[in-house]
Every structure is written in structure tokens, then in C-alpha cells.
Amino acid sequence: MTTTRRTDGGADLRQLVEECEAISRCEECGTHVVNLASHRCPSADTRRTNRETRQERAEGDERDDDDLVGIFPRSSGNSYAYHELSDGDVQCGCGNYAKADRLEIVSRVEAKDRGRCPCGNCERVERLRADGGD
């Protein structure tokens, strides 16, 4: 990996970023990202949650409580979501970004009882599929 570094005092930071081979610009959202393949574009419905909003989201999830969902162990960080499964893996791809080495499969009601709420990325994938996007 080679980076270009300008030493003149008038160098613009944006220009330096544009010239750096370790950083690229997402073609979809325009965000500059380090080339680690872990970027997800921001979404209009991306939201920070607290215990109260997570509980509201879990209570509002009307899908079958007996369905199996995946959760990442909390010891791996602040994982508050449960994920819809597709062939035993999380359908949204969050497993690629989580700092967890295993996925625990539980019923939706058990995930809710553990204080988890629906994954926002899984919800977006389901909306796209319902709209014919997949």
C-alpha cells in the first residue's frame, strides 16, 4: 500500500484524502472510508436506541414469537438486536461487522425477554424484499 503525502502547508485535507490509496469514496453515499470492506451506507431510518426505544420496537414486532432468530453474545459488545435468519445466517450481513465469533439461535420471544429488539438492517432487507427489490 502506497500513500501520497504532500508536505506543502497549503495542502487541503480533502485533497490528501482523495489522493490516499488506502481510502476510497463510496459510490453510493459519497462517504470516504478506509479500504477495509466494512462500510455500510447511512440510512434515513438509522437510529440510536436506548432501552425504552428498544422495548417499544420489540413490542411492536408482530411476527411469530416462536420463529427462530439469531443474537450475538453481549460479551462481544453492545449487541441489542436480534436478527432474522436465512439458511442459519443473519440475513442482513451484520455478522460480517459484529465482533462476535458465534451466533446464538433462540426464539423471538426469548430474544425479546433478553432485552433485544429487531435489527434495523434486517427490517430494511425485509422491506426491500416485500417491495420486489430482491
Q: What is the pLDDT of residues 72-87, one digit of tens each?
A: 886 545 678 899 998 8
Computed over every residue of the chain, the mean pLDDT equals: 75
- Mean pLDDT calculated for residue range 2-27: 62
Count the Cβ atoms, other than its own, within 10 Å of residue 55. 14
Q: Rounded distance, CA 100 to CA 53, Å?
A: 24
On the question of pLDDT at 107 being above 90, the answer is yes
Range ranked top by mean pLDDT from 26-30, 91-95, 121-125: 121-125
CB within 8 Å of 119: residues ≥ 6 apart: 81, 82, 83, 84, 90, 92, 94
What confidence tier does 110 reach under pLDDT thresholds 50, 70, 90?
Answer: very high
Provide the whole-model pTM.
0.60
